[in-house]
Amino acid sequence: MPIASHRKLAGVLALSLGVTLSACGGMPTNRGLESMRQPVVERTNYTFDVQAGAGGLSIPEQQRLAAWFQSMDLRYGDRISIDDPMMSSVTRDAVSKLAGRHGILVEEGAPVTAGYIEPGAARVVITRSTASVPGCPDWEEKSDMNYNNATHAGYGCAINGNLAAMVANPEDLITGQKGTGETVVTTSTKAIASYRGQAPTGQGGLKESATGE
């Protein structure tokens, strides 16, 4: 074989070896079944300052606050708190009634927010949480070789992404709903108590029915 042919063959082998090594470099290494892309919950605080006097909120201030709640599309999962330097119970009652129209309760305490509260004012804070899965979908891995029998980086993106999009309250992904065992037991035994309290169908005897005249 001529020397030129040897050099050409060596170049082809080197190129093939380089492509193989580069493909192996993207091989997945996560051998567990836990997804590398997990939902992340982020909280955002929205503030609205109202003028609060000794008698609480005036009618125009209540209208302003109600319009803000409406524009913010206040909904399940949102948390409302009041940062009131005067700690007025009348102001808190007024805000609670407006928030109650949307099915939201006012919580104790308020998160730290930017800015200074003017004298004679109170700050209403809406804390809204959102859930997402950063990095999904992940289709960067082009290699089909998987000598480690591992899951790819995009494994679990579909399930975790759908969960983050459908969960009504993103805070449930962190702590879950809290309750008491008494409520659960009472609810679960309703059907059993109703079944046991029903009289047997044959207790009053069989009914006679005519087949014709």
The pLDDT of residue 25 is above 60: no
Within a 10 A sphere around the Cβ of 98, how many other Cβ atoms?
Answer: 21
Average pLDDT, the chain: 81
- Check residues 7 and 32 and name the one with the higher pLDDT: 32
Contact 161, 181 (CB under 8 A): no
CA dist 165 to 12, 141, 170, Å? 49, 25, 9
**Number of residues in the chain:** 213
Which position has the token pair 């524009």? 71
CA distance 212 to 194: 38
pLDDT digits (tens, 9 = 90+) for 115-168: 899 989 999 999 999 999 999 988 877 766 778 888 888 889 999 999 999 998
- Give residue 12's pLDDT: 43
Has residue 83 got a pLDDT over 70? yes
Most confident of 31-35, 160-164, 172-176: 160-164
| Burial status of residue 133 (CB atoms within 10 A of its CB: 0-12, 13-18, 19 or more) | buried
pLDDT of res. 131: 95
Residues 48-74 pLDDT 10s: 999 998 888 999 999 999 999 999 999
Contact yes or no for 63/97 (Cβ under 8 A): no
Mean pLDDT of 43-50: 95
pLDDT value of residue 185: 57
**Fold classification of 43-129 (topology level):** 60s Ribosomal Protein L30; Chain: A; (3.30.1330)
Q: What is the pLDDT of residue 143?
A: 64
Tokens 């992904």 map to which residue? 173
Instruction: Report the C-alpha dihedral over residues 165, 171, 176, 180, rounded to 10 degrees.
Output: -130
Q: Give whichever of 16-30, 74-88, 184-198 has the largest mean pLDDT.
A: 74-88
